[in-house]
Amino acid sequence: ISLNCSMEEVQQRYVELMVRPDQAEVARALGPLHESQTFGRHIFLFCGIDKNTLAQLGEIRTPSVADLFVATMSRKPGGGQ
């Protein structure tokens, strides 16, 4: 089981952050679970990071279940990406 929590817990725990390329290194330093890139922007998935901190770097939103599935299934054993 990769994800065993309610949708309310997902909304509280997980945050997706979209940043411009000039903010990508700062976001990366916060230890995201997953990173992808689309339309010239970097998208990071975080767990347990303060939303106010992330909002200073770019646009935040609650990730979809599909986004969480991709992020958890693409992680390498041992916690790396």
pLDDT digits (tens, 9 = 90+) for 16-54: 999 988 999 999 999 999 999 988 899 999 988 999 999
DSSP one-letter code for 11? H
- The helix or strand, by DSSP H or E, that contains position 23, with its residue range, turns out to be none
Q: Quick one: CA dihedral 47, 1, 62, 78, positive or negative?
A: positive
pTM of the model: 0.80
- What's the average model confidence in pLDDT over 48-66? 92
By the 10 Å C-beta count (0-12 exposed, 13-18 middle, 19+ buried), 60 is classed as buried
Percent of the chain at pLDDT exceeding 90: 49
Residue 40 gets the label, from left (phi > 0), alpha (psi -120 to 50) or beta, of left
